[in-house]
Amino acid sequence: MSMPEPGTILIVDDTPANLAFLSDALDQVGYKVLVAANGYNAIDQLQYITPDLILLDILMPGLDGFETCRRLKTSHATRDIPVVFMTALDGTEDIVRGFDLGAVDYVTKPVDPQEVLARIATRLHCSRAIRQFQDAVEVSGDAFVALDDQVRVTLITPPAQSLLREYFGTDIVEGMSLPDSIQNLLAVHGPAGEPFPRTPHPHSAADRTGKHLIIRAATCTRSARAMLVLEENPAHAPSPAAVTALLGLTQREAEVILWVIKGKTNRDIGMILGVSPRTVNKHLEHVYIKLGVETRTAAANKVMAIMH
């Protein structure tokens, strides 16, 4: 077996033999291993160190695995740590309960060390990829939320979390259903209702600071999953209607050039508006003709000069 990337694993189990067995197996392939004999001890340790993954037994006296996981996922400091349940329970209801609480995977007892190692490697790879992606979008400032067909959040970037907290007063994390306040704003329906819409025009939520949160809903072409793209604008920012009236552009052409002004690529704009990048380019070509320019930079500069 190839050596894994360096990583720290916390094993939580009330049976000393299980702790020793799993600790040896993980240590042999290069992981740093921490152990806890119960949920309380695990939570105490997590005040001082953040492991890359937690192997968590379900059936423990006192604080069982379900409650331990619930507490971890409701704490800002620990909610992003992947949790893999270890269980002798084979009922679907218990497995589903574990996933509902935020676990990413489970293994059944008696534990097969090869299976545990394979699942840990996979989950660590996914976790690191997501973390790198989130770091990238945090640096870039992109704010978006991905949803599944149950209107549950499957991915939310830190900028999107910050904006939704400011405008709607709630913390939204992966695994949560989209709050009713946002669903109502977007006229979102669950799987029994209408499908998530491709929204051609923005939905605005005015804030007391004099700004607007623009939320656009689109459907990803490859996955058919819904995505919300968020953009905060000053209340006095030019609207597509104003650009249309002053420059003779269509509504969609005005939307495209305003997103160009904000530095978005054709691919970004296509995702925001629910059209292909090629269609965005066609709209831009029409904008160039109407404004008498030849490049997107020249078009953006001309619009900004006229609107301001």
- Measured in degrees and rounded to the nearest 5, phi and psi for residue 204 equal -110, 140
- Asked if residues 170 and 153 have their Cβ atoms less than 8 Å apart, the reply is no
* Domain match, 16 and 104 both: yes
Residue 1 included in any domain: no
**Domain boundary residue among 111, 136, 161?**
136
* Domain match, 107 and 127 both: yes
pLDDT number for residue 9:
95
Residue 2 included in any domain: no
pLDDT number for residue 66:
93
pLDDT number for residue 39:
93
Burial 214-235 (b: 16+ CB within 10 A, else e): bbbbbbeeeeebbbbbbbbbee
**Domain boundary residue among 73, 107, 136?**
136
- Mean pLDDT in each 10-residue stretch from start to end of the chain (308 residues)? 68 92 92 94 93 92 92 89 85 82 87 90 84 66 78 83 87 81 69 50 62 76 70 72 86 90 85 85 94 90 81
> How many structural domains comprise the chain?
3
Three-class SS state of 191: coil
Q: How many alpha carbons lie under 13 Å from residue 215 in its C-beta half-sphere? A: 24
pLDDT number for residue 3:
47
pLDDT number for residue 223:
56
- Measured in degrees and rounded to the nearest 5, phi and psi for residue 75 equal -100, 130
Rg of the chain over Cα atoms, rounded to whole angstroms, equals 24
Residue 122 included in any domain: yes
CATH label of the domain that carries residue 29: 3.40.50.2300
* Domain match, 24 and 82 both: yes
* Domain match, 108 and 64 both: yes
* Domain match, 146 and 106 both: no
Range of the domain at 301: 238-308
Take residue 222 and report the two structure tokens written for it. Answer: 């490859």
Residue 265 included in any domain: yes
Helical H segments across the chain, by residue range:
16-28, 39-45, 65-73, 92-100, 113-140, 158-168, 180-186, 240-247, 251-261, 266-273, 277-291, 296-307
CB within 8 A of 285, min separation 6: which ones?
Answer: none
Take residue 301 and report the two structure tokens written for it. Answer: 């500069």
Write out the H or E segment, with its range, that includes residue 216: strand 211-219
